[in-house]
Amino acid sequence: MDTIQDKITRLDRDRMPVHVAMIMDGNGRWAKRQGFMRSDGHAEGVSTVHRVTKLSSDLGIKYLTLYAFSTENWNRPAEEVATLMYLIGWAIERELPELLRNNVRINLIGDIERIPEDARKRLFDARDATAHCTGLQLNMCLSYSSRWEIADSARKLARLVKEGKISPDDITEEMFADHLATAGIPDPDLLIRTGGEERISNYLLWQIAYSELYFTPVLWPDFSDEHYVDAILDFQNRERRFGKTSEQVQNEN
């Protein structure tokens, strides 16, 4: 049996994903299985965020994008939403010293104005305090949905047209992408969803056009470093063709 260290050694350092995105799902089911409250599952999930961030940083991954709270999650029971908001603010503050030590830069993606003031302030503080960091960029998607983001990009471009700054014919894919919340960030190479559902749930729809998708039944609180390395090893066994033939891709390498 391979140990986690063996698996890390097996990683091809020349073919590491630059950007890993994750849909952190399964906290509620994890809690239910243990006979706990859903909020206990979310609290446990914070430990996985800590581990995944550390390992991404240690492996030299440049961007980690985590789906922490979707626009649709606002429709959950008020008590669960309040717990999640509290946890997000508490966790980011607690993690800040270690994020700084590991040179991790926090970036916030989503309709952050909707986050309650207390948590929002802690998020902004963490973002500002890590602005100088040059290691892993941790993108936290909060009150985020991809359709919201795409509509927002369309709105921004429409305004530029109205102001006479661009013509509709000038609009390119690159320009559209530059008005998304992820402007300047390369598209994810690998998207991991825990919790067993094989769907995208309104996440990064534009950006994942050519991402490798990895679905695992492991619930988010149980998602270990070894599970993460397994996902990267699986990614490294795939051939990314971007529409070309296998022969073309092999000749390029």
Chain residues binding Mg ion by CB under 5 A are 25
Nearest distance from residue 5's CB to ligand IPE, in Å? 29
Q: Residue 25, interface with ligand IPE (CB under 6 A)?
A: yes
Q: Residue 140, interface with ligand IPE (CB under 6 A)?
A: no
- Of the two residues 23 and 126, which places its CB atom closer to ligand IPE in the complex? 23
Q: Residue 99, interface with ligand IPE (CB under 6 A)?
A: no
Q: Residue 213, interface with ligand IPE (CB under 6 A)?
A: no
Q: Residue 68, interface with ligand IPE (CB under 6 A)?
A: yes
- Pick from 89, 110, 195, 221: which binds ligand IPE (CB under 6 A)? 195
Catalytic residue among 6, 14, 25, 189: 25
CA 218 to chain centroid: 17
Q: Residue 199, interface with ligand IPE (CB under 6 A)?
A: yes
| DSSP codes of every residue in the chain | ---HHHHHHHS-GGG--SEEEEE---HHHHHHHHT--HHHHHHHHHHHHHHHHHHHHHTT-SEEEEEEEEGGGGGS-HHHHHHHHHHHHHHHHHHHHHHHHTTPEEEEES-GGGS-HHHHHHHHHHHHHTTT--S-EEEEEEEE-HHHHHHHHHHHHHHHHHTTSS-GGG--HHHHHHTSTTTTSPPPSEEEE-SS----TTSSTTTTTTPEEEE--S-GGG--HHHHHHHHHHHHTS---TTS-HHHHHHH-
Question: Is 102 labeled as catalytic in the residue annotation?
Answer: no
Q: Residue 27, interface with ligand IPE (CB under 6 A)?
A: yes
Question: Is 230 labeled as catalytic in the residue annotation?
Answer: no
Binding part of the chain for ligand IPE, among 9-17, 103-111, 163-171, 193-201 by CB under 6 A, reads: 193-201
Nearest distance from residue 224's CB to ligand IPE, in Å? 17
Binding site for ligand IPE (CB under 6 A): 23-29, 67-70, 73, 84, 195, 197, 199, 201
Q: Which residues does the annotation mark as catalytic?
A: 25, 73
